A and B are shown apart, each in its own frame.
Chain A
């Protein structure tokens, strides 16, 4: 067994979000002068989901990969006074958070790649903030999903929240995923703070219905790429097809064998889809920037 250190560095960013100071955990790797690729993790999880991407030499040669952890998740602290309110992620709050952190990090029109709630969020960015980003890659991106189980079970004192959250999402992983990565992905869910996964799902299932915003997306101003794993029933391939149909000029690929957490459950399987998509996204961003600054 060899000893080695990953090329990933991490820092804590202090940033004002919604009028309150937040301490946000940010991981980064890659070419400092490369194309900024800002990554958004799934609900109830954190940036460990991007461990494969943050170690992908081919991507790191051309991109500066940045992944931040949402407040209340992982190593990002909740703001002072958090104990006096109930955590609920909203479309407006989540969008403002991503824009604020991108700005605080000094990223110039990054490609934003998000998964699940992050995949939904990038659609809001494409619709409402095209001038601030350089394109989006939506992983497991759907416009809306109606509740299909009682999310109260994710956060109640008489149920182990870690086991309930991980148990709910366990079937979203492709059956052929490597066991190590399957259980690491579930481990992240087992570690989520009480009510955080449930609070994220407020955006995913209640507040964040983006379908009526999709007509505003102009892919000549913000290129849109969609990648969805075939075993995902939370954001199913049909859900993503509906998004693609609503955004002329978008690109969609259904990924064989993969589920809801492609970058975490099976990076080796995912990178075969991601690398060409990212290459296309980088080229589209270059064209976009030429048009803006000829």
Chain B
């Protein structure tokens, strides 16, 4: 069992400020974040995170795209000052520790938005 409490850490995504929400104003997705056996389903509407659910408790979770990484990788990534190689989602991709699956088009269209949104847990406990 990992020490990472994924749902708790991901709850920080609700703290997007007005500028970040404006940056993601065209984003409407359901994003699955998976950390080993844990999975969070994050609903984004017009740049705001409107719902976060434990995907393992849903009968038929449906998502636009999924980000899957081992729990220790998310834990490192969400450190306030991550080490080199752990500091960016693309660093995890390069080390083959992150898998990006599904319809990645909204993610690639809004890289600055998603990188900033998914980094929010660094600054909350």
Contacts and interface: CB of A to CB of B under 8 A. Distances in A.
Interface string B79-95: 00110110111110111
Nearest to B98: A148
B112 to A, nearest CB: 5
B90 to A, nearest CB: 5
A166 B109 CA distance: 11
Interface centre among B81, B88, B96 (most CB of A within 10 A): B88
A206 B32 CA distance: 32
Interface residues of B, number: 20
A293 B18 CA distance: 66
A60 B95 CA distance: 39
Main secondary structure of the interface of A (DSSP, over half): loop
B91 to A, nearest CB: 4
B112 A234 contact: no
Contacts of A175: 81-82, 87
Nearest to B95: A233
Nearest to B87: A175
Contact of B84 (A148, A159, A163, A231): A231
A171 B85 contact: no
Contacts of A150: 104, 108
B81 A148 contact: no
A171 B87 contact: yes
Contacts of A149: 90, 93
A27 interface: no
A273 interface: no
Interface in A138-193: 148-150, 153, 158-160, 163-164, 166-168, 170-172, 175
B62 interface: no
A28 interface: no
The 10 closest A-B pairs by CB, nearest first: A171-B88, A167-B111, A233-B91, A153-B108, A233-B94, A148-B94, A230-B84, A231-B84, A148-B93, A167-B112
Contacts of A237: 84
Nearest to B91: A233
A148 B85 CA distance: 14
